[in-house]
Structure 1
Amino acid sequence: MDARTRALEVYVDLMSQPCRALLLFLRHNHIPHTVKNVLLHRGEQKTPEFTKLNPMQKVPVIVDNGFVLTESDAILKYLATTYKVPHHWYPQDPKIRARINEYMSWHQTNTRPHAARVFILEVLMPRMTGNPPDAKKVERALADLSETLDKLESVFLKQQPFLCGDEITLADLLAICELMQPLGSGRDVLKDRPKLDAWRERIKSAMKDTFDEVHVYLYRLRDKARL
């Protein structure tokens, strides 16, 4: 059976950074799929039905002709190697692939938690408690994120167009979706970093309209924060 005719189901919440990275990849590469929305703020990830699918109660999850897979890294690599997509996403060259794996491993303890922490403190916690953000905690979170951004510039991006070389890869999708998340409070963490801001623009250009389509709910949060 051709990969593009398979029945791929995708369980996501568009406010989840890894879910947006997954949908960017699927839509840009025209991989047919059915979206199953799992609204985290309503606790839909804890329902018995979803828990049977993913006992970890997290998104994203895919079901590909009965094959269930969780964890965004594993999902993206699986799709890039199973479906007919351009090789630049996850090249067969072992050294380039190793660089992508290197970033994706580092991402989980650096870019992801540090960018998410800012969003949690400035958006989620105030919504849950009714209290304004804790300024000192936000300051510390921004300092941690700044160190991560320094490493992104000096260790990964360097003078090349994308994190792992001359072409966009899975690493860029995961990274940019995390770094967009603080926009939910109206905070653009890349605007004062010309190198990273230009990198973001290259990703947006590569993904075309799909980038903004996938971030539409985040943009709405940003616009509300500006009022």
Structure 2
Amino acid sequence: MAVELYLDLYSQPCRSVYIFAKKNNVPFEFRKVNLFDGEQYGEEFGKITLIRKVPALRDGDFCLGESIAILQYLAEKFKTPDSWYPADLQQRARVNEYLSWQHSGLRAHGSRVFWLRLMIPKALGVEVPQEKMDAAMEDLNGSLKLLEEKFIQDRPFIAGDHISLADLVAIVEIMQPVGAGLDVFEGRPRLSAWRDRVQAAIGKELFDDAHQIIVGAQESIKMMDDSKLSLFKPKILQRFL
């Protein structure tokens, strides 16, 4: 039976779940939740998860939020290839180490740069102080350095010779500031080579399909409904500025 996945591919965690499900032939129904229209606050979505964030999953009467939990659930339920979430204790610990760190590391800093560089000035029309942008870039560069030197090192992938959930979660986060027009791979040959290996392991067609909305974000924000987006303006500015 197909699971239901509630997704908006503007969201990095949603892209990781989408790619994983498609790559592993997981039977699923795509339920679009438009974040910028506030659909996550609707009555129907509240029945799926009181967290009111995407991604979310419904499998019969079982509902689940949080992308990492969803990825692990899908890997176990559909018996996906071992490399994604290895049975080997130390390899799994390496995956878990990255997944535990990334929330306050790469995810936090990549998202901040995306909002400060693109969404706040272009979609909300608010000027971003240079010192805020400089601090955000410093944090992002620090996280990218850690990704290279601590998590990737000289290995093909984070947990070893094969792609894992750690690599998948990392690449979708890195693509967020790319969507804001920042080439994070410039001057980082190790990171670029890893990106190429991850893209090849996923498959270029699927990779591009999942990321087309974020890669085209600079154009698509022009078509957003300003009246709906403005409802979130105070909360967004408080969070990022």
State the partner residue of 2:81.
Answer: 86
Gaps of 5+ in 2: 222-241
Question: Quick check: 18-27 or 60-69, which moved more?
Answer: 60-69
Q: Does 1:42 align with 2:37?
A: yes
C-alpha distance in 2 between matches for 1:175 and 1:215: 14
State the partner residue of 1:165.
Answer: 160
C-alpha distance in 1 between matches for 2:119 and 2:44: 26
Letter in 2 for 1:7: A
RMSD over aligned Cα, in angstroms?
A: 1.5
State the partner residue of 2:196.
Answer: 201
> In the superposition, relative to structure 1, how do residues 133 and 192 fare at CA in structure 2: closer, same or farther (>3 Å)?
farther
State the partner residue of 2:106.
Answer: 111
Checking the alignment, whether the CA contact within 8 Å between 1:12 and 1:61 is kept in structure 2 is yes
Checking the alignment, whether the CA contact within 8 Å between 1:99 and 1:164 is kept in structure 2 is yes
State the partner residue of 1:212.
Answer: 208
Checking the alignment, whether the CA contact within 8 Å between 1:161 and 1:167 is kept in structure 2 is yes
C-alpha distance in 1 between matches for 2:144 and 2:111: 13
C-alpha distance in 1 between matches for 2:216 and 2:149: 32
Letter in 2 for 1:215: H
> In the superposition, relative to structure 1, how do residues 136 and 224 fare at CA in structure 2: closer, same or farther (>3 Å)?
farther
State the partner residue of 2:177.
Answer: 182
SS of 1:68's partner is: strand
Q: Does 1:8 align with 2:30?
A: no
Q: Does 1:63 align with 2:47?
A: no
> In the superposition, relative to structure 1, how do residues 222 and 165 fare at CA in structure 2: closer, same or farther (>3 Å)?
farther
State the partner residue of 1:3.
Answer: none
C-alpha distance in 1 between matches for 2:133 and 2:200: 31
State the partner residue of 2:138.
Answer: 143
C-alpha distance in 2 between matches for 1:133 and 1:39: 25
C-alpha distance in 1 between matches for 2:218 and 2:174: 14
State the partner residue of 2:186.
Answer: 191
Give the 5 Å matches for 1:96-135: 96-135=91-130
Letter in 1 for 2:210: V
Q: Does 1:156 align with 2:141?
A: no
Checking the alignment, whether the CA contact within 8 Å between 1:8 and 1:33 is kept in structure 2 is yes
> In the superposition, relative to structure 1, how do residues 224 and 82 fare at CA in structure 2: closer, same or farther (>3 Å)?
closer
C-alpha distance in 1 between matches for 2:98 and 2:39: 31
Deviation at 1:134, TM superposition (A): 2.8
C-alpha distance in 2 between matches for 1:185 and 1:105: 25
Checking the alignment, whether the CA contact within 8 Å between 1:183 and 1:222 is kept in structure 2 is no
SS of 1:84's partner is: coil
Which TM-score applies when normalising by structure 2?
0.87
